[in-house]
């Protein structure tokens, strides 16, 4: 049961992080291709859009992130007696 608890925690963390990281990664690749095509090598051109997209993902996916975390903690609440008791 303890391994199931750890596996659920790792899966939940990966799921939540991917929601925030993957859109920024895709945007970063698109901006890098545009920078390579135009020979513009400005660092803020990659940083600022990725930061804004990550912020927007937190705003739009925040409710889902909190609900997922609360669901995991509810499951944890019911699994603790089986693990320690």
Residue 41 phi, psi (nearest 5)? -115, 55
Task: Give me the pLDDT at residue 52, please.
Answer: 94
Task: Give me the pLDDT at residue 85, please.
Answer: 65
Q: What is the mean pLDDT of each run of 10 residues along the chain (85 residues)?
A: 86 94 93 89 85 94 95 87 74
Environment class of 22 (CB within 10 Å of its CB; exposed 0-12, middle 13-18, buried 19+) = exposed
Closest among 19, 32, 23 to 50, alpha carbons compared: 23
Q: What number of other Cβ atoms are within 10 A of residue 85's Cβ? A: 5
16 close to 64: Cβ distance less than 8 angstroms: no
Q: What is the pTM of this model?
A: 0.75
């Amino acid at each position: 049961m303890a391994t199931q608890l750890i596996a659920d925690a790792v899966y939940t963390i990966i799921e939540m992080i991917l929601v925030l990281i993957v859109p920024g990664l895709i945007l970063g690749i698109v901006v890098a291709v545009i920078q390579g095509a135009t020979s513009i090598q400005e660092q803020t051109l990659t940083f600022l859009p990725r930061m804004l997209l990550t912020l927007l993902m937190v705003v739009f996916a925040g409710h889902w992130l909190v609900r997922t975390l609360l669901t995991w903690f509810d499951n944890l609440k019911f699994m603790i007696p089986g693990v320690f008791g």
